[in-house]
Amino acid sequence: MQSNPRKSEPATAYESSYGRVRRACFALFACAALLAGHRGAVAQGESPDRGNGQTDAIAALRKEGKKALAAAAKLARVPSGSEHEARIRAIESALEAYAGCIERFGKVPSIVADGEFRRGQLFAKLQQVESACSAFERAADSDTEVFGARAWLEKAHVLRRHKRYTDALAAYRRSVTLPGPRYSGQARLWVGKTLVSLGRVPDARTSFGELARDSKADARLRVQAFDELAMSWIRENEADAAARIHAEVDSAFATEVAGDDKTAIALARAIERMRSKKSLARLRAKRS
């Protein structure tokens, strides 16, 4: 993938979809006019509830914004086997369309955040790291409740993939502090992994241990943290230390895996398939 692709005109195959984006975005002006009219009526002492104008206007903006985002997403799709240049043109067309959505639906935080997040993903595909990171930050700032932890997690992933581990670690830690338990929990796991990449194994073990022993955290994430903790000992040929971690896992989740419901079965399977268990078996086999 080229780091700075040549700017190209959108291919004809995407023009109709882009047209739909523009038409959807232009609907903003009609909605904005409706909202402005409503505010004017309130200023003149008319009933603010007449036809629920403000609520309807905001709902209309959000609906049209979602349509525009969906149309922009279609622009990035190309048939399987398409040439590299066609993929680049498609991504650039989608980036332009998302930018239009963000500009025209700037009063709707959820649309702005979604658009910035998608732009971040597309910039990442183009290997444009700084642009991707900036877009993810704007997504987090626009709608922190929905995109806070998620956007900072994605930013951290981009930085890590480019081996900027110190910056990635800071981004993962920021994600941990933001709303969105699903993504902030994943960020906690990646804090430990990134510390390993930085050679800070004792700190990584502390991080993995805190997540693994947090009874309020997602059980599957806790198992993964235990797995990473055990692997950190196996890499140093410390079989007994890894075995103690495995024993702790069995004890910690004894109640959760005792049932026959889907959740219990899935958790038991995750424990059984821990990577460190196979690695420990190989380590012991070498010693025998």
Q: Three-class SS string for 149-168?
A: HHHHHHHHHHHHHCCCHHHH
CA distance 238 to 287: 12
User: Is residue 180 assigned to a domain?
Assistant: yes
What total number of domains does the chain contain? 3
Structural contact between residues 54 and 35, judged by C-beta atoms closer than 8 angstroms: yes
One domain for residues 124 and 147 = yes
One domain for residues 222 and 172 = no
User: Is residue 141 assigned to a domain?
Assistant: yes
Show the tokens assigned to 32. Answer: 């904005």
Structural contact between residues 133 and 159, judged by C-beta atoms closer than 8 angstroms: yes
Domain span at 212: 200-288
One domain for residues 272 and 211 = yes
One domain for residues 210 and 242 = yes
Among 148, 168, 191, give the residue marking a domain's end: 191
Show the tokens assigned to 130. Answer: 């700084």
User: Is residue 89 assigned to a domain?
Assistant: no
CATH number at residue 115: 1.25.40.10
Residue 216 burial (C-beta neighbours within 10 Å; 0-12, 13-18, 19+): exposed
User: Is residue 132 assigned to a domain?
Assistant: yes
Residue 252 burial (C-beta neighbours within 10 Å; 0-12, 13-18, 19+): middle
Show the tokens assigned to 262. Answer: 């889907």
Among 139, 159, 191, give the residue marking a domain's end: 191
Among 161, 191, 221, give the residue marking a domain's end: 191
User: Is residue 45 assigned to a domain?
Assistant: yes
One domain for residues 39 and 67 = yes
Buried b (16+ CB within 10 A) or exposed e, 55-70: eebbebbbebbbbbbe
User: Is residue 72 assigned to a domain?
Assistant: yes
User: Is residue 48 assigned to a domain?
Assistant: yes
For residues 169, 173, 175, 176, the Cα torsion angle rounded to the nearest 10 degrees is 140
Residue 141 burial (C-beta neighbours within 10 Å; 0-12, 13-18, 19+): middle
Tell me the pLDDT of the chain (288 aa) as tens digits. Answer: 444 444 433 444 434 444 444 444 444 444 444 334 434 433 333 333 444 667 788 888 889 999 999 999 999 998 888 899 999 999 999 999 999 999 999 999 999 999 999 999 999 999 999 999 999 999 999 999 999 999 999 999 999 999 999 999 999 999 999 999 999 999 999 999 999 999 999 999 999 999 999 999 999 999 999 999 999 999 999 999 999 999 999 999 999 999 899 999 999 999 999 999 999 999 999 988
One domain for residues 124 and 61 = no
One domain for residues 211 and 261 = yes
One domain for residues 214 and 234 = yes
Q: What is the pLDDT of residue 81?
A: 86
Q: What is the pLDDT of residue 35?
A: 39
One domain for residues 164 and 225 = no
User: Is residue 161 assigned to a domain?
Assistant: yes
CA distance 222 to 203: 17
Distances (CA, A) of 160 to 1, 7, 129, 145, 191: 17, 27, 11, 24, 11
The pTM assigned to this predicted structure is 0.79
Contacts of 83 (CB under 8 A, 6+ apart): none
Show the tokens assigned to 250. Answer: 């069995």
One domain for residues 187 and 208 = no
One domain for residues 237 and 287 = yes
One domain for residues 207 and 285 = yes
